[in-house]
């Protein structure tokens, strides 16, 4: 289990400046200034100067979704959705964008990319993917993955995912990410060739570490606690919101029943007829207005969902820290025990239990030569162990430093994004209230006009 060292092969030159925040189709990533500086300083290992990709402003969009059929690994026919990813570079001077790359990817490839990033950047809060299956649905929405509304929302979510990576100062430099956007064929093989699956930590190991680690950094413990709570509260919120949407839909739809009966009533009335007809019509308009309202609200739910899944990513970083810390503690413990063994052998006292000691007792004392040999081996091991401990310590501190930097970045992003989400939610409610209030007012005015005739 090693932390991926910044590999020049995997990284591209410059980094973008501003993080993006929200997913808007085709937002650009400005990389120019950084690129300039990098080239001047000649920093970084291999400079991919032959690749001008990152030296211009780029726009990424997931512009289309298409149903496909194909054969899966078990040679069975399956239906899946493919998404078109288009990358454009924007000319500085005239702002025109030129399509540089366009390819199709399916959800599983996005997953592969993300899993790769999780392994190679364990200190980064990796942006989450939109949900695999529709959850927190209310009755009108289909839970079917092939449903066009679901596909559309997923398209937006995937685009957002890519934009988040592209705007991340470290992740955007990753070569595999670059190839994801540019190399249609063989990309999967390329990823697998990195052997990242082997480097992944086993879940069992991670779980073990969580329970056994003695001195994790308190900040990470607190952060993990926070991410658990965040996940719990957002789930609750989304569940209740879905129920609220369901009920609201019911209220509006029953109003729709008024339309017909008011119309029938108006037929038997003389003076009241027109007014009643108008009332019926307005009831119908009212009833049908719920569809737009709830569609807008789904967008808000998606924004919350992203942070629900981000909580998981946050927890992953904490777990990684625990794992590293545990590893360190074990190594230190191991070293300490070896040192003690060595000491005992040297001084002839036996305090610690060792198998050798046991067998010695059973089968007779060892010779001084044998003992010397053993001490030598132990000393070598101790040396090695000390080196390892030193590097692990270094690694650990680097991890904490880098991880915490990214966590701070993430916190700012989260606060910004969620505030914006709440504002647009409030704006949505305001516009809905105005619209519906206006509708009633129009109706009352028309009724009063009719009845005054």
Partner 1 sequence: MAGGPPKALPSTGPHSLRDMPHPLAGSSSEEAVGGDSTPSPDLLMARSFGDKDLILPNGGTPAGTSSPASSSSLLNRLQLDDDIDGETRDLFVVVDDPKKHVCTMETYITYRITTKSTRVEFDLPEYSVRRRYQDFDWLRSKLEESQPTHLIPPLPEKFVVKGVVDRFSEEFVETRRKALDKFLKRITDHPVLSFNEHFNIFLTAKDLNIYKKQGIALLTRMGESVKHVTGGYKLRTRPLEFAAIGDYLDTFALKLGTIDRIAQRIIKEEIEYLVELREYGPVYSTWSALEGELAEPLEGVSACIGNCSTALEELTDDMTEDFLPVLREYILYSDSMKSVLKKRDQVQAEYEAKLEAVALRKEDRPKVPADVEKCQDRMECFNADLKADMERWQNNKRQDFRQLLMGMADKNIQYYEKCLMAWESIIPLLQEKQEAKFPVTAVLS
Q: From 32-40, 156-164, 181-189, 261-269, give the range in contact with partner 1 by CB under 8 A.
A: 261-269
Phi-psi region of 136 (alpha: psi -120 to 50; beta: other; left: phi over 0): left
Cβ-based nearer residue to partner 1, 64 or 229: 229
* Cα–Cα dist 100/263, whole Å: 59
Binding mask 229-248 for partner 1 (x = CB under 8 A): xx--xx-xx--xx-xx-xxx
Q: Which is nearer to partner 1, 64 or 292 (CB)?
A: 292
Residues 391-410 that bind partner 1 (CB under 8 A): 408
What are the beta bridge partners of residue 79? 69
72 is a site residue for partner 1 (CB under 8 A): no
Note whether 153 binds partner 1 by CB under 8 A. Answer: no
Cβ proximity of 83 and 111 under 8 Å: no
Are 181 and 147 in contact by the 8 Å Cβ rule? The answer is: no
Q: Which of 226, 274, 296, 381 binds partner 1 (CB under 8 A)?
A: 226
Q: How far apart are CA 208 and CA 214, in angstroms?
A: 12
Among 222, 292, 295, 380, binds partner 1 (CB under 8 A): 222
Minimum CB–partner distance for residue 25 and partner 1 (Å) = 25
Near partner 1 by CB under 8 A: residue from 255, 305, 319, 320: 255
Find the shortest distance in angstroms from Cβ 86 to partner 1: 34
In whole angstroms, what is the distance from residue 334 CA to residue 317 CA?
Answer: 26
Q: How far is it, in rounded angstroms, from Cα 219 to Cα 400?
A: 10
Stretch that binds partner 1, among 52-60, 79-87, 249-257, 349-357 (CB under 8 A): 249-257
Based on the shown chain and the rule CB under 8 A, indicate whether residue 188 belongs to the binding site for partner 1.
no
CB–CB of 325/160 below 8 Å?
no
Distance CA 29, CA 10 (A): 20
User: Does residue 318 belong to the site contacting partner 1 (CB under 8 A)?
Assistant: no
Which DSSP state fits 2?
-
Q: How many CB atoms lie within 10 A of CB 29?
A: 23
Both tokens assigned to 313: 């990513």
Q: Does 139 bind partner 1 (CB under 8 A)?
A: no
| HEC-encoded secondary structure of 42-89 | CCCCCCCCCCCHHHCEEEEEEEEEEEEEEECCCCCEEEEEEEEEEEEE
Instruction: Name which of residues 262 to 301 contact partner 1 (CB under 8 A).
Output: 262, 264-265, 268, 271-272, 275, 279
Q: Which residues bind partner 1 (CB under 8 A)?
A: 219, 222-223, 226, 229-230, 233-234, 236-237, 240-241, 243-244, 246-248, 250-251, 254-255, 257-258, 261-262, 264-265, 268, 271-272, 275, 279, 408, 411, 415, 418-419, 422-423, 425-427, 429-430, 433-434, 436-438, 440-441, 443-445, 447-449, 451-452
């Amino acid at each position: 289990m090693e932390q991926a060292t910044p590999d020049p092969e995997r990284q591209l030159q410059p980094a973008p400046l501003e993080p993006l925040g929200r997913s808007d189709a085709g937002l650009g990533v400005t990389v120019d200034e950084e690129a300039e500086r990098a080239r001047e300083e000649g920093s970084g290992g291999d400079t991919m100067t032959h690749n001008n990709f990152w030296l211009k402003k780029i726009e990424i969009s997931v512009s289309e979704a298409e149903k496909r059929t194909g054969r899966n690994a078990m040679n069975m026919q399956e239906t899946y959705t493919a998404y078109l990813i288009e990358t454009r570079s924007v000319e500085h001077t005239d702002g025109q964008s030129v399509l540089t790359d366009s390819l199709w990817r399916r959800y599983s490839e996005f997953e592969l990319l993300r899993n790769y990033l999780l392994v190679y950047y364990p200190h980064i809060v990796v942006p989450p993917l939109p949900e695999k299956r529709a959850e927190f649905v209310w009755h009108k929405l289909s839970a079917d993955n092939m449903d066009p509304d679901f596909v559309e929302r997923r398209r937006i979510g995937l685009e957002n995912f890519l934009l988040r990576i592209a705007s991340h100062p470290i992740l955007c430099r990753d070569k595999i990410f670059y190839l994801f956007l540019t190399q249609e064929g063989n990309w999967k093989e390329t990823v697998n060739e990195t052997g990242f699956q082997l480097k992944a930590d086993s879940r069992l190991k991670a779980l073990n570490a969580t329970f056994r680690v003695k001195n994790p950094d308190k900040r990470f413990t607190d952060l993990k606690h926070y991410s658990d709570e965040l996940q719990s509260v957002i789930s609750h919120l989304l569940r209740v919101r879905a129920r609220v949407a369901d009920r609201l839909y019911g209220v509006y739809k029953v109003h729709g029943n008024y339309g017909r009966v008011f119309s029938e009533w108006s037929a038997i009335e003389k003076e009241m007829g027109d007014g009643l007809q108008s009332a019926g019509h307005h009831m119908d308009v009212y009833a049908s207005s719920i569809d737009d309202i709830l569609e807008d609200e789904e967008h808000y739910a998606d924004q919350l969902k992203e942070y629900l899944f981000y909580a998981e990513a946050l927890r992953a970083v904490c777990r990684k820290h625990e794992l590293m810390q545990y590893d360190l503690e074990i190594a230190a413990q191991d070293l300490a025990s070896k040192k003690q063994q060595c000491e005992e052998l040297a001084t002839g006292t036996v305090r610690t239990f060792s198998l050798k000691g046991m067998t010695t007792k059973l089968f007779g004392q060892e010779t001084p030569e044998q003992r010397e040999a053993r001490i030598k081996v132990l000393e070598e091991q101790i040396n090695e162990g000390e080196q390892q401990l030193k590097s692990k310590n270094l690694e650990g501190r680097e991890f904490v430093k880098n991880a915490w930097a990214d966590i701070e970045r993430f916190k700012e992003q989260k606060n910004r994004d969620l505030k914006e989400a709440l504002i647009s939610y409030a704006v949505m409610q305001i516009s809905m209230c105005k619209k519906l209030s206006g509708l009633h007012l129009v109706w009352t005015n028309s009724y009063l006009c009719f009845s005054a005739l």
